[in-house]
Chain A
Amino acid sequence: MISESLVDLSRLQFAITAFYHFLFVPLTLGLSFILAIMESAYVLSGKQVYKDMTKFWGKLFGINFALGVTTGLTMEFQFGTNWAYYSHYVGDIFGAPLAIEGLMAFFLESTMIGLFFFGWDRLSKVQHLVVTWLVAIGSNMSALWILIANGWMQNPVGAEFNFDTMRMEMMSFTEVIFNPVAQVKFVHTVSAGYVTGAMFVLAISAYYMLKKRDLPFARRSFAIASSFGLASILSVIILGDESGYEIGDVQKVKLAAIEAEWETHEAPAAFTLFGIPDQENMETDYAIKIPYALGLIATRSVTEEVTGLKDLMAEHEVRIRNGMVAYDLLTQIKAGDRSDETMADFKSRVDDLGYGLLLKKYVENPAEATEADIQKAVDNSIPAVAPMFFTFRIMVGLGFLMLILIGLSFYYSAKGTAENQRWLLYALLFSLPAPWIACEMGWFVAEFGRQPWSIGEILPTHLSASTRSVTDILLSLAGFIAFYTVLLIVEMYLMIRFARLGPSSLHTGRYHWEQSNHTPTTASAQA
C-alpha cells in the first residue's frame, strides 16, 4: 500500500508549486490585456505617453512573466514525476487539453512575447499592436485549456473506464470541452486575473500620485486600469455566483462543505454568513444565517433543497459498498472471467468503482474491507469543512472590498479628481496583495474541496501518487522551496525597484528622475 506520508508530501509539493505558479499567472492574464488596451490607445491617438505606458508596464510584465514561465514548467512535469498513476489512469483524457494548450496557446504567447519586447523598431505600429493583442489572447487561451483539464478533474464527463487498459478513456471530446464546470471556471478565473492586473496598475499609479510624480502618466494608467478593473470585478462576482450554481448542480459535497451545511434543511436553504464549523460533531457553532440566500445561489429556486453533508455521506456509504462489489468483479475480469453475467454486473456497478477504490487507503483488497474500514472511508469521503468555509469567505470578502475600491477609483477617475483622494490612493496601495490572496483562496476552495478525489468520484488522490520513496519527495520539496524562495526574493527586488523608478526606467528623458531639478539617485542612474 502507498504510505500516507508519501501522498501527503506529494500533495504538499503540488500545493506549494501550484500556489506559487499562480502568483504570476493572474497578473499575466490581466496585465497583457491592459498593455493591449494602452497600445491600442497609442495607435489610435498617436500620443507618445501611451507608448511609454505600454513599454513601462510591459517591463513590469516581463519581470513577472519570466517567473510565470519558470514555474509553469514544474506544473507540466509534476503530473508525471509525482502523480504517475494519475497520469496513466486519466492521461487519455487529461493529456489532450495540456497538449492542445501547448500547440494553440503557449506557442502563440511565447513567440509573440519576444516580438513584443524586441520588435518595437522592427514591426510597423499596427503589426506590433497585433502582436501585443496576440500575447494577451495566447495567455488567456492557455487558461482556457488548463481549466478544461481542471474542470474535468472536478466533473469528469465524456469518459469511460476500460478494464483492458485499466484506465479512463475518452468517449466524447466535445463533452470534455463544453463541460459546464470548465466553462464557468474559465471565465471566473480569467476575470480574476483581469482584476489582478487592474489592481496592480491602480496601486502603483496611486503610489506615483501620492508622490506627485509623473502625473499625466499615472492618471492615464489609472483611468485605463479602473475602467478595465470595474468591468472585470463585476464579471468575477457574477460569474463566481454562476459557478456556485454549477457546483450546486454537480459538486454537491463541495458546496455543502463551503457552506458547512451539515443537514439537509427544508428549501430554500439559508446562507451561513459566519460560524465555526465543528467536523467531529457535524455542526456549525455561532452561525449567522441569511435566509433563502443559499437556495437562490445554488438552485436558482426557492423550492429545491441543498443536500447536507450527513445525507451526502449516507449516499457515499451506499456507493462504497457497491464499489467493493465492482472492485471484486474487476479482479475476476482481470483473472480472465469474461462471462456475460460478470460483464453485465460489472457494467452496472462501474460508476461506483471509484468509491470502492477509496478503501485502498485502508485495505489492500477493497472487496475484503471490514465495517471499520468502510466507516473510515465514509468519514473521509468529504473534505475538512472549516478550511473550506473560511477560505471561501476570505475570497468573497476580498472580492467585495475590491469592488468598492475599484468602483470608487472609476468614479473619481471619471470626475478627474482621483489624485486628490489620498485616502483612496493609500487604500489602493495597501490592498495590492488582495487580488492575489483572493485568487489563491479560490484555488484552495476548488482543489481542497475536491478531496478525497483527484478525479471526482473516479480516482482517489491517495491512489494517484507515484511509487517513489518519501525521501525523494522530501528532497525535491526542499529543492523547490529553496529555488522558489530565492527566485521570489529576486523577483520582488526587481519589481519594487522598477515600480519605484517608474517610467524613468525607459530612459526617454521625459520623466521624473531624468529632470534636471531632481538629483538622480544611484538607482535611477543604474537601471
Chain B
Amino acid sequence: MDYELLKIIWWVLIGVLLIGFAVTDGFDMGVGALLRVIGKTDTERRVMMNTIGPHWDGNQVWFITAGGAIFAAWPVVYAVAFSGFYWALLLVLFAMFFRPVGFEYRSKIQDTRWRSAWDWCLTIGGAVPALVFGVAFGNLLLGVPFGLDEFMRSTYTGSFWALLNPFGLLCGLVSLLMLAMHGGTYLQMRTAGDLHERARRISLLLALVVAVLFAAGGVWVSMMDGYVIQTSADLAGVVTPLDKTVVLKEAGWLDNYGKYPWMLIAPMLGFAGLILTILTSMANKGSLAFISSSLAVTGIILTAGFSLFPFLMPSSSTPDHSLTMWDVTSSQTTLNIMFWVAMVFVPIVLSYTIWGYYKMWGRLTTDFIEENQYSTY
C-alpha cells in the first residue's frame, strides 16, 4: 500500500484503539472513581466491582495494545512522549498497579480496614489515570518543551509540575468527570435498586458538568495559539520531524474545522452524546444512557484528535521539531504488516469480547453477592 495512505490509516487505527480504551476501560475507571461515592455499603461496592469483574482485565488490554501500537507504528512518539511525560506516565502506572490487585484481593479477606484500604486503592486506580490522561491531552494542545538532535535523540526540558497548568487541569477534569459519567451509565445498566438510582442521578449530574466544561475548553482553545505546518518536505514520503518548519497561529487549532467542515461532527457528537445521556438517564433507560455516554466519550476524544491533526505532540520550545502523524511513523514495510495484523485480529478480538459480555449480561443485585460471597470479587 501507498505510504501516505498507510500513515493516514495508522492515525485512524491508533485513534480507534484510544477510543476503544476510553469506551471500555473508561467505564471501569469510572466505576473505580465512583466506588466510594455511590457505593455506601460493603455489598454495594462489591456489586459495583462485580459488574466489571469479568471484563476489566480484557478492557485494560485496549490500553496495553494502544501502547504497543504506538511503539510499532509511531516509535518516535513512543520514545519522545513516554520519556518526556516521565512522571505523568509513572503516576498513571503506579495508580494502575492498584487495579488488578485491588479487584482480586479486596474481598478475599473479611476485614473492614483491609477492604476499606483496597477501596481507596481502587478509587485511585480509576480516578488518577483518568485525570492524568486529560492533563496530558491538554498539554498537547498547549505544546510541550522538547527538541531532537540530528541523531533523533530527544530531550524534554519541562517538568511534571508545569503540566498542571490551568488549561491542562481543565482538560484533566473533563476527562475524569467524563469517565466517571461513563462508569455511572454502565452501572445504570448493570445494577438494580438504590445503587441503580444513585448511578442514574450521578451520571445525569456529571453529564451536565462535562457539557459545561467541554464548552469552556472549546472557548479557551479558540483564544489560544495553535500550530501550523508552514513548509515541509514531501510529507507522504520518508520524512523525520526535523524536515519541516512550523509556526504558531492564533486560534490555529480551529483551522481544521474551516478546512474540513465534516470534522465538526466530532464536537457535535460530544455534545449530542452528553445531552442524550442526560435525557436517557432522566427517562431511566440504562442501556441507552450507556450508548449515549459512549458517543459522548468518542466525540470528545475525536475533537481533541481532529483539532490537533496532523499534529500529535507539538513542541513549544522548538516548534519545527513538533511530531506529526506524517513524520513519526515506522517504515512503510512495518506499517503495512501491522495493518494486516490489525485487520485480522481486531474483528476476532471484538467478536469474543462481545461473546464474553453476552454470556455475563444481566443486572447484579446485593442478594447475588451475598449468596456468592466466596466466588465473587
Q: Are A87 and B79 in contact (CB under 8 A)?
A: yes
Across-interface contacts of A468 in B (CB, < 8 A): 83, 86
Q: Are A76 and B68 in contact (CB under 8 A)?
A: yes
Nearest-neighbour CB distance to chain A for B275, whole angstroms, equals 33
Given A96-B72, A107-B58, A69–B89 Cβ distance below 8 Å?
A: no
Q: Identify which of A94, A334, A468 gathers the most chain B CB atoms within 10 Å of its CB.
A: A468
The verdict on B259 contacting chain A, using a C-beta distance below 8 Å, is no
Q: Are B65 and A99 in contact (CB under 8 A)?
A: yes
Q: Which of A69, A91, A164, A173 contacts B57 (CB 8 A)?
A: A69
The verdict on A81 contacting chain B, using a C-beta distance below 8 Å, is yes
Q: How far is the CA of A465 from the CA of B127 in the complex (A)?
A: 31
Q: Are A170 and B238 in contact (CB under 8 A)?
A: no
Q: Are A106 and B64 in contact (CB under 8 A)?
A: yes
Q: Are B331 and A66 in contact (CB under 8 A)?
A: no
Nearest-neighbour CB distance to chain A for B343, whole angstroms, equals 11
**Stretch from A108-116, A291-299, A369-377, A445-453 at the B interface:** A108-116
User: Chain B 127-168 against A: per-residue CB contact (8 Å), 1 yes, 0 no?
Assistant: 000000000000000000000001111111000000000000
Across-interface contacts of A74 in B (CB, < 8 A): 93
Given A84-B82, A92-B334, A111-B58, A102–B109 Cβ distance below 8 Å?
A: no
Nearest-neighbour CB distance to chain B for A317, whole angstroms, equals 25
Across-interface contacts of A264 in B (CB, < 8 A): none
CB-contacts of A80-131 with B (<8 A): 80-82, 84-85, 87-88, 91-96, 98-104, 106-108, 110-115, 117-120, 122-123
Given A487-B101, A506-B374, A99–B71 Cβ distance below 8 Å?
A: yes
Q: How far is the CA of A114 from the CA of B374 in the complex (A)?
A: 16
Q: Are A107 and B55 in contact (CB under 8 A)?
A: no
Across-interface contacts of B81 in A (CB, < 8 A): 80
Q: Are B83 and A81 in contact (CB under 8 A)?
A: yes
Q: Are B78 and A96 in contact (CB under 8 A)?
A: no
The verdict on B247 contacting chain A, using a C-beta distance below 8 Å, is no
CB-contacts of A284-323 with B (<8 A): none
The verdict on B359 contacting chain A, using a C-beta distance below 8 Å, is yes
The verdict on B262 contacting chain A, using a C-beta distance below 8 Å, is no
The verdict on B282 contacting chain A, using a C-beta distance below 8 Å, is no
Across-interface contacts of B71 in A (CB, < 8 A): 79-80, 87, 91, 94-95, 98-99
Closest to B114 in A: A490
The verdict on A227 contacting chain B, using a C-beta distance below 8 Å, is no
User: Chain B 62-96 against A: per-residue CB contact (8 Å), 1 yes, 0 no?
Assistant: 00110111111101101111110011011001101
Q: How far is the CA of A76 from the CA of B103 in the complex (A)?
A: 21
Across-interface contacts of A476 in B (CB, < 8 A): 86-87, 90
Closest to A113 in B: B57
Given A76-B68, A115-B359, A70–B101 Cβ distance below 8 Å?
A: yes
Across-interface contacts of A117 in B (CB, < 8 A): 53-54, 375
Nearest-neighbour CB distance to chain B for A120, whole angstroms, equals 7
Q: Identify which of A72, A74, A120 gathers the most chain B CB atoms within 10 Å of its CB.
A: A74
Q: Identify which of B73, B331, B353 gathers the most chain A CB atoms within 10 Å of its CB.
A: B331
The verdict on A278 contacting chain B, using a C-beta distance below 8 Å, is no
Q: How far is the CA of A62 from the CA of B53 in the complex (A)?
A: 13
The verdict on A517 contacting chain B, using a C-beta distance below 8 Å, is no
Q: Are B79 and A115 in contact (CB under 8 A)?
A: no
Across-interface contacts of A95 in B (CB, < 8 A): 68, 70-73, 75, 78, 330, 334
Across-interface contacts of B333 in A (CB, < 8 A): 169-171, 173
The verdict on A472 contacting chain B, using a C-beta distance below 8 Å, is yes
User: Chain B 111-139 against A: per-residue CB contact (8 Å), 1 yes, 0 no?
Assistant: 10000000000000000000000000000
CB-contacts of A38-90 with B (<8 A): 62-63, 65-67, 69-70, 72-74, 76-77, 79-82, 84-85, 87-88
Q: Are B79 and A88 in contact (CB under 8 A)?
A: yes
The verdict on B240 contacting chain A, using a C-beta distance below 8 Å, is yes
Closest to B58 in A: A111
Q: How far is the CA of A87 from the CA of B240 in the complex (A)?
A: 15
The verdict on A483 contacting chain B, using a C-beta distance below 8 Å, is yes
A-B contact pairs, 9 of them (CB 8 A): A69-B60, A88-B79, A98-B71, A110-B58, A118-B375, A169-B331, A468-B83, A472-B87, A476-B87
Interface positions of B (Cβ within 8 A of A): 50, 53-58, 60-61, 64-65, 67-73, 75-76, 78-83, 86-87, 89-90, 93-94, 96-97, 99-101, 103-105, 108-111, 150-156, 238, 240, 330-331, 333-334, 337-338, 341-342, 345-346, 349, 352-353, 356, 359-360, 374-376
What 9 A-B pairs are tightest by C-beta distance, nearest first? A91-B75, A80-B82, A95-B72, A102-B65, A114-B54, A95-B71, A84-B83, A111-B58, A99-B68
Besides the known contacts A98-B72, A99-B341, 11 further A-B residue pairs in the complex with CB atoms under 8 A apart: A67-B101, A80-B89, A84-B83, A87-B78, A91-B78, A95-B72, A99-B65, A106-B65, A114-B356, A167-B75, A472-B86
